[in-house]
Amino acid sequence: MNIYVGNLPYKIRDKQLMGLFQSYGEVSSARVIIEKESGRSKGFGFVEMPNDEEANSAIKELNGSLVEGRNIVVNESTVERSFGRGEQRRI
């Protein structure tokens, strides 16, 4: 499952984001989105967890939780990505 994580503190990086989710199960990847020009976090990221049950548990427990003074938003990602020839997939 691909998970959206918003309202992240700006100093959080990939490794710390992964650490937030690892206590709930296996994490395939964790990526904080970084602004290209400034190198500063945009305050959100994505976590990929292969086990949906573990991912749902993480979403339930972490959504609204306090991380370095900020209440983070955690939910299943609903981003659509284009893969050419008009094909789109939900990730």
Place of tokens 């500063």: 40
pLDDT band at 78 (very low <50, low <70, confident <90, very high): confident
Q: What is the pTM of this model?
A: 0.84
What digits encode the pLDDT tens for the residues 23-60? Answer: 999 999 999 999 999 999 999 999 999 999 999 999 99
Length of the chain (residues): 91
Domains defined for the chain, CATH in brackets: 2-90 (3.30.70.330)
CB 54 within 8 A of CB 78: no
65 is written with which tokens? 């939780």
Given this model, what pLDDT does residue 44 score?
Answer: 98
Task: Tell me which amino acid residue 35 is.
Answer: E
Q: What share of the chain is helix, strand, coil (3-state, %, to 5)?
A: 20, 35, 40
Place of tokens 């967890």: 49
